[in-house]
Chains A and B, each alone.
Chain A
Amino acid sequence: MLEIRDLHASIQGKEVLKGIDLEVRAGEVHALMGPNGSGKSTLANVLVGREGYEVTKGEVLYQGENLLTLSVEERARAGIFLAFQYPIEIPGVSNGYFIRAAVNAQRSARGEDEIDAFDFLTIVKQKMADLGMKPELLDRSVNEGFSGGEKKRNEVLQMSLLEPTLALLDETDSGLDIDALKMVAAGVNALRSPERGFLIVTHYQRLLDYIVPDHTHVIVDGRIVKSGDRQLALELEERGYGWIQQQLEGGAA
């Protein structure tokens, strides 16, 4: 469903992605790991069309179509969802109103009727309970005054209501205690299906104990330098990113 070929991207003229090749097929969960500044978050942001990221070379095909010409909202309506590393606060817009507006925007883009307000409330309250979220977070302004953990759960809540085809999770585990991590992981696992693909960006492998990936990739300095299975993540945990860097240097020498 997602094919990334020789993708180069810059932020303010500085090249951050230096030739990424990656394929995510339906039903697969991919973990993308790497040290800080390696470009893993950049890749997620390029895929959703965030401003300030310039693609200088390469292509991205999503369901066989060129993804990079689509607007931000078109990508979302085509089924791509990013769980933000730093969810944005929007004072004055209630969380419930926002999420329902998003669900309805996507439904009407698909030619479906808008969801009934009462039905929506029933569904969203159930999902919030599953994620261990307090019901009043629905009436508060979007992410405003939410704790770090509440913000991350709110991202997973949106994901579970929007039911994306390709879910990108950017450091969703950061700032979560172990109980929250389990709940968030359960929310993600509940969405795993043969039609859906996941790309999970993370610095630590901790999350991968609970969301077990089919493939693991290591990104260093804007390139994927090693790919493997679940074992690779465990190995990274044990030996650190220095081990990969030494291997690379050794190979070059």
Chain B
Amino acid sequence: MSATDSLSSLARRRSGDLQGAGPPWLGAARARALELFTELGVPGTRDEAWRFTNLRDLDDLAFAPAGEGERDMDDAIARAHATAGAVGEGHRLVFIDGVFSAAASSVGGLPSGVTVDSVARVLERQPERVKALLGSTADQKRRAFTALNTALFEDGLFVEIRRGQQLSAPIHAVFVQSCGAAPTAVAPRNLISLQPDSQAVIVEHYVGCADCTALTAPVTEIRLERGARLHHVILQEQAETGYQLGEVAVYQEADSHFASHSLALGGRIARVDLTTVLTGEGAHAQLDGLYLGAGRQLLDHYTTIDHAVPHTTSDEHYKGVLGGRAHGVFHGRVIVRPDAQKIDARQSNRNLVLSDAARVNTKPQLEIYADDVKCSHGATIGRLDAEQLFYLRSRGIDADAARAMLTLAFANEIGARLPIDELGSYLTYQIRRWLPAVVEEKDR
């Protein structure tokens, strides 16, 4: 059975429950989304946007809904708890199999005008608040997995910050799947809305389970109104049997500031489709990314920055480290609309390749329809610097340790730009744990 059939059938099996549970408008939206998904189908490599990311693996999997049948909740909760140190103090929301677990979560006191909750709970009490955001930025007409998400989502992170409110403690949303026998698919839907001049730091943290195969297809919709500032982190730590295919869709008004940090550390195949549309003057997008691949991992980022109006700026900086037979893909699309003058858009993608079998495809795609703009881009794919290695070794540091030191230095540049110190330390710790798999001589 093809992945499209298997996932459509999964969505159909769930549709009765899901459509019955929510308001009628949502049921109708889900039915339309399911049709759309079946029509679009899981993308193949003939689709230019998926040229390097072959999803044939998914065809062999007969997906079952997460949460059906036997599952080990204690193990899932334990794995969720183990992530607490990554962000430190903050509001923790744990989602097990895509559903909020109040027992595993701890949301502290919130100032008035700040909602940090689960989408399902808000849907129950104030469905109109979900309705206002759902589908407002994500593009399911072109993205099959976003359509699937609309058909299938049960829950997700809901954040709404009213005008002028600044939430200083970070929001740490942890998504963990329980272990079960059959491959599962979950589709969290996260809705984030920052009203004028408000601020927040949000970390979406995806954690895998090494013993089971799972597909996570999250969609995050973000609206930043005038002057709002958001740091948004995706920390993707799926197991090597995990698949994550997600979309982040952002709408930015004037003077808003969106800083994205996409950290792809795990997953057999993991992809983030990230789009931000800058619709008001003074809006700025900073897109950072780091992908670390070993074994047979495929890590893909497809980013689009749409400068829809003049006087908007963007700064994109992605780095990849690939060892073993891993494959990194970066596609950076920058659009400057006609008459969107005085744009400053910078993009760089630097890749460090540590083995002969590892590979990288990087593609900047600049579509500039205005003339008074500053756009720069640069992409590199390189090995560790032989002179630097020699220098370290000439001081008695062995070759593996020298490679590790230089690789960590390369990757840590992205970590140093994270908004939370604990998260930077956590990233360094995880990189150090990962390094032996890619730098040791025997594996090269």
Interface residues of A (CB under 8 A from B): 48-51, 71-73, 75-77, 81-82, 84, 87-93, 98-99, 101-102, 105-106, 109, 141-142, 158, 162
Contacts and interface: CB of A to CB of B under 8 A. Distances in A.
Given A50-B390, A51-B386, A88-B387, A158 B409 contact: no
A101 B393 contact: no
Contact of B410 (A72, A77, A92, A102): A92
Contacts of B405: 93, 98, 101
Given A51-B386, A101-B401, A90 B396 contact: no
Given A71-B393, A76-B393, 11 more contacts: A51-B390, A72-B394, A73-B394, A73-B398, A81-B394, A84-B391, A89-B388, A92-B408, A92-B412, A93-B409, A101-B401
Contacts of B18: none
A88 B387 CA distance: 7
B397 interface: yes
Most buried by A among B387, B392, B396, B398: B396
Contacts of B391: 84, 87-88, 90, 142
A50 B397 CA distance: 14
B440 interface: no
Contact of A90 (B386, B401, B406, B413): B406
Nearest 8 pairs of A and B residues by beta carbon: A92-B409, A102-B395, A76-B396, A88-B391, A72-B393, A106-B396, A105-B396, A73-B393
Contacts of B393: 71-73, 76
B399 interface: yes
Interface in B371-404: 386-388, 390-399, 401
Contacts of A90: 388, 391-392, 406, 409
B388 A102 contact: no
Interface string B409-436: 1101100000000000000000000000
Interface residues of B, number: 21
B392 A109 contact: no
A89 B409 CA distance: 12
A189 B394 CA distance: 22
18 contacts: A48-B394, A51-B386, A71-B393, A72-B390, A72-B394, A76-B396, A87-B391, A92-B410, A92-B413, A93-B405, A93-B406, A98-B395, A101-B397, A102-B392, A102-B396, A105-B396, A106-B395, A141-B409
A146 to B, nearest CB: 13
Nearest to A52: B386
Nearest to B386: A51
A89 B387 CA distance: 9
Contacts of B390: 50-51, 72, 88
A2 B401 CA distance: 28
B394 to A, nearest CB: 5
Given A50-B390, A88-B387, A76 B409 contact: no
Contact of B398 (A75, A87, A89, A105): A105
B230 to A, nearest CB: 27
A98 B396 CA distance: 11
Nearest to A109: B396
Contacts of A50: 390, 394
Contact of B399 (A73, A88, A93, A158): A73
Nearest to A101: B397
A138 B390 CA distance: 21
A24 B305 CA distance: 64
Contacts of A141: 409
A154 to B, nearest CB: 11
Contacts of A75: 394
A87 B387 CA distance: 10
Interface string B22-37: 0000000000000000
A142 B395 CA distance: 13
Most buried by A among B387, B397, B413: B397
A49 B398 CA distance: 14
Contacts of B388: 88-90
Nearest to A106: B396
A84 B392 CA distance: 12
Nearest to A141: B409
Contacts of A92: 406, 408-410, 412-413
